[in-house]
Structure 1
Amino acid sequence: MGSPENYENIFSTVDNEALENPELDSRFLETQKVSKSSSPRGVDVKKVNDSKDNTVILSNQHVSATQISADKDMFDLDDLLPILGEFGRYQKQLLWFICLPACLPCGFCAFNQLFMSNTPSHWCNIPELGTLNMTMRKIIAIPTVGFDLVCDYDIYPTIGLVALNAGGPVGVYMFGSLNDRFGRRLSFFACLATLITGASLSATANTFWIWAATRIIVGLTIPAIYQIPFIISLELVGPNYRSFVTVMTCTFYTMGLCMLAGVTYYIQEWRTLALVTSLPFSIYFLYWW
């Protein structure tokens, strides 16, 4: 049996813990009550009950004070940006030199496949050649495009587009998760690396099905390669400038499409086109610094 002074110290410690921990088990408080009533000092039960009520009241006050303090620490970025500057020097440099140029690859790589799988004018059956032997027919009908995507294979370009678009929903989820876990910068560079890798593999494909598989890899980055810089732009400018930023990102995406038309006018060989419309964007890796 301990001394009365020891009991008093124990009870004081328990009361302090109850004040600091509002979720203290009620059964522990009941144990405290019984222990006090059986102590050598004969603590009155009524006092214990009153102390318990005061503990609950003080605990509720402690929770309320904690919630108020947490609410004061939280703030909305939209309320802070008008004070710091909605479209200052930093936001302008970020928009014009990083975010808007980063919207260009999506326009190139989303539509260059239409030119890569273009089907030229052709004839599947020429009655006038019926009198020629098979050797002459093969010489006349030598394929002029890769994979011979004509006649019975004219559905293959559509299959290629399906492969490209099949990767989109998966890529949006995958790179969206990277956004939330590791930040926008790492997610953008992972997306850019995937895009360049897939496009380079497309240029080296020897069969149609390998080429279609590489287009799935490219499809993973569309439209994620466009969404990431777009989100960065919107997050860091004030509410009054977000409409302007949205218009500008759409404008740069359209500029990418217009530039693609000029590139395909001069480069019509599909393997070269796949490289020219992807490898130059490797310069964006300099954005890491």
Structure 2
Amino acid sequence: MDLRQLQTLIAVADTGSFAGAASRMNLTPSAIGQQIQSLEGEFGASLFDRRTRPRRLTAKGEELVRAARTVVQTMTEAKLAIAGGRTAGLLKFGAIRTVSMRLVPDAFARMRGLYGDLTFQLTVGMSESLMADVAAGHLDAALVAEHVGVPSSLTWSPVLQEPLVIAAPPDQAFRSDTSLLKDLPFIRYLTDVPLARQIETELSGLSVVPKDIVVANTMPAVVGMVQAGLGVAIVPRIALLHIQPDSVHQRAFCDGAVSRRLGLVQRQVSSRSEVLAQLRDAFSAMARAHGVAAEPMPVLGAEHAP
């Protein structure tokens, strides 16, 4: 087994075919097949289910691909360090949508000042799927919500804690929270993510039942509906960072008693631990600048899953 074989294995896993891997690796499909067969012979196990299209990894194949990604990344960074090179390469990062519009770009800009040769790939998605992608080695790290189970191979450390706010048209600022939710049409955030479930939980505990005028599955759409004067909504504070302050009236929901936390999830053993530590610091700095920094606490593994 050599590094080239591991790179080939990763290419087949990423592209789903020997032909796709051949194009990436600049080899023939038959050469790709020979390398995979060699790995299977060395480990004594089938790595791919050849009955499926695209090719699907077996359980043992998935385990080897995770290890291969770590080995390849470690060797790449070791070569740079020994040669006196700077930290470079592609940082594959995931984030939920509400932080992808402002906090993530600001943090990436800060990282470019530290690592001029580093490039980024951003995947925007739901916390659960991003967590799974980190565990599988498809992402180096992700910024995800609290209340998502952390597998034993990962750690989660909080970087942001923000209040949920009630957002309404500016001319309705005189109303109380109860009056806003009782008397104005409600714009409901409805999707299968922790934030939506948290909002629904808080609403269920109120003595009023909001009357929906719009149901939307993205937070920017919810905010846009409020800006258009359609009604009131409950949103996280950072969802309003990119808008004109006077376009929406906003104040802490329930006098600030309701908040959510976001944290950085990464593998417990990562070749990019130094870079990810700097990235976590960058997010913490951005959170402090916006007044939503999380309280310091130990990094969490599965036994302390939020």
TM-score, normalised by the number of residues in structure 1: 0.29
The structure that is helix-richer by fraction is 1
Q: Which has the higher contact order (CA 8 A, sep 6+)?
A: 1
Q: Structure 2 length as normaliser, TM-score?
A: 0.28
Higher Rg of the two aligned structures: 1
The structure that is strand-richer by fraction is 2
